[in-house]
Amino acid sequence: MKDALEKYKEKIKYLSAPDQKEVLKACYFAIKAHQNQKRNSGEPYAKHCIETACFIADLKLDKEAVIAAILHDTIEDTNLALAEIQKNFGKTVAHLVDGVTKLGKIRITRRWFVLKSEKELAQFDRQIETLRKMFIAMAKDIRVVIIKLADRLNNMKTLDSLEPSQRLRIAKETLEIYAPLAYRLGMGELKGQLEDLAFPYVYPDEYKWLKSKIAESYSQRKKYLEKVKKSLLIKLNQAEIKAEIHTRVKHLYSLWRKLQRYDNDINRIYDLVALRIVVDSISDCYKVLGILHTQWKPLVGRIKDYIAMPKPNGYQSLHTTVFCLEGKIVEFQIRTHSMHQQAENGIAAGWHYAETKGTLDYILKKIKRVPHEDIRWVKELAKWQQHLKDNKEFDQDLRVDFFSDRIFVYTPKGDVVDLPSGSTPIDFAYAIHSEVGDNCVGAKINGKMTNFSTLLKNGDIIEIIKNKKNSGPKRDWLEFAKTSLARSHIRRFVRTKR
């Protein structure tokens, strides 16, 4: 406990002296509130709260977020009232703690089954209601969900102390709910950690197989990349480019998913261990790319420019794969320091200090690196959920919009649109704007006219042909509209025309 407290004091040093004093006050407040409580692991309960707050401090969030993180379990697990938290730490902290508490403990997995008994139906309704609350909370204040993710990450680290059935349930929830949520918020490192912590509990045999398979590969690969790193640093120094080069090890769960697409042949995975080059400016990114391609021959089709065309969750980098020393294939990622922070921490990377911090409207206005389309998706999702009465319909839409695999397609101007796999031009049109969808009369994919039922693929360029004289969406569009956004607009229009 003493070590956790010292670590906490170190983590909060980025805050001003008065703010540090306030968050230390919250720490001792939490220790007192949880003083007679132990975790299943035998550790003091307050240690979990401190470690959760340390994660929030690592993201350099504001003092209110850090305080709320350390107090996040006080309402649910102690005799404290919300009014007492507001009295001691203010309205904003109370709002955040209340938001995390209301999310409760999510008890839902993506099970494809028929609910039969009244008990099962009641449980399902409660689970769906919890998810509704989570997305509505996201729309009001992103910090609530970031604290919830930090809480889950810390809980995953003590999973061994639970019963096997509990471990499996929590690990499944993590893979199916929390990790996708972290991804959609652009928090790539957190997503990887959550997946890797859940992997051995959900897929124990596959985990053991993969660990044994890669042990030797990792060791050999790292030694080889050290030689590549030394050779490259000489070239970068000659070009007077200041750069940090790090070895990037692919997360285990992500590697396992990728291996399934490559017949479990680990020799076909070029980014098992890759090199990440971090530089000071965008121009340096492209200079480094030029040096790599001058020094070594690039693989055709393996160059990706996510700086010019960022992913919808804000990710930016240059990717290239080359035939390197000894003819071996190596993948490189090149990015600036700010891009690296964005890739690791997503929405949390560009936090600002202001009265309205945390709200989506503030983020949209102030944080330029956060992708506007992705944040609008959160707001739209919360909006239509509040009007959707059918829980089964909500569950089905959520599986498609939130948990399914994603594809990235483009507008003719090069803007990226993030859609669930299996989407059609109709989904694309409504993702742009409801007016575009309602007035859609045709579509082109990569310059060629196509049917509305055509499935979109990664990298497609979509052009929607509009006619304002169009009578609006047709009922049969529901047969090939996949996203909840498109389907809800079509249903609403059809109902008004009855």
The pLDDT of residue 341 is above 80: yes
Quick one: pLDDT band at residue 401, thresholds 50, 70, 90?
Answer: low
Quick one: pLDDT band at residue 150, thresholds 50, 70, 90?
Answer: very high
* Helix (H), strand (E) counts: the chain: 22, 11
Instruction: Give the model's pLDDT for residue 349.
Output: 66
Q: Is 76 a catalytic residue?
A: yes
CA distance 193 to 205: 19
Instruction: Give the model's pLDDT for residue 372.
Output: 42
- CATH 3.90.480.20 fits domain 404-496: no
Could you tell me if 464 and 409 are in contact, meaning their C-beta atoms sit under 8 angstroms apart? no
Quick one: pLDDT band at residue 397, thresholds 50, 70, 90?
Answer: low
SS3 annotation, 113-162? CCCCCHHHHHHHHHHHHHHHHHHHHHHHCHHHHHHHHHHHHHHHCCHHHC
Span 2-202 CATH architecture: Orthogonal Bundle (1.10)
**What is the average pLDDT across 9-26?**
93
- Interval 215-240: pLDDT, tens: 767 777 888 899 999 999 999 999 99
**What is the average pLDDT across 198-204?**
95
Burial class (CB within 10 angstroms; exposed 0-12, middle 13-18, buried 19+) of 449: exposed
Instruction: Give the model's pLDDT for residue 327.
Output: 86
The pLDDT of residue 416 is above 80: no
**What is the average pLDDT across 297-311?**
87
Structure tokens given for 320: 């290239």
Instruction: Give the model's pLDDT for residue 424.
Output: 95
Span 218-248+266-345 CATH architecture: 2-Layer Sandwich (3.30)
Q: What share of the chain in percent tops pLDDT 90?
A: 39
- Interval 450-473: pLDDT, tens: 999 999 987 788 999 998 777 789
Residue 380 in 3-state DSSP?
A: helix
pTM of the model as a whole: 0.73
- Kindly list the domain boundaries of the chain, sorted by start residue: 2-202, 218-248+266-345, 404-496
- Interval 70-96: pLDDT, tens: 999 998 888 888 999 999 999 999 999
Select which of 77, 98, 305, 395 is catalytic.
77
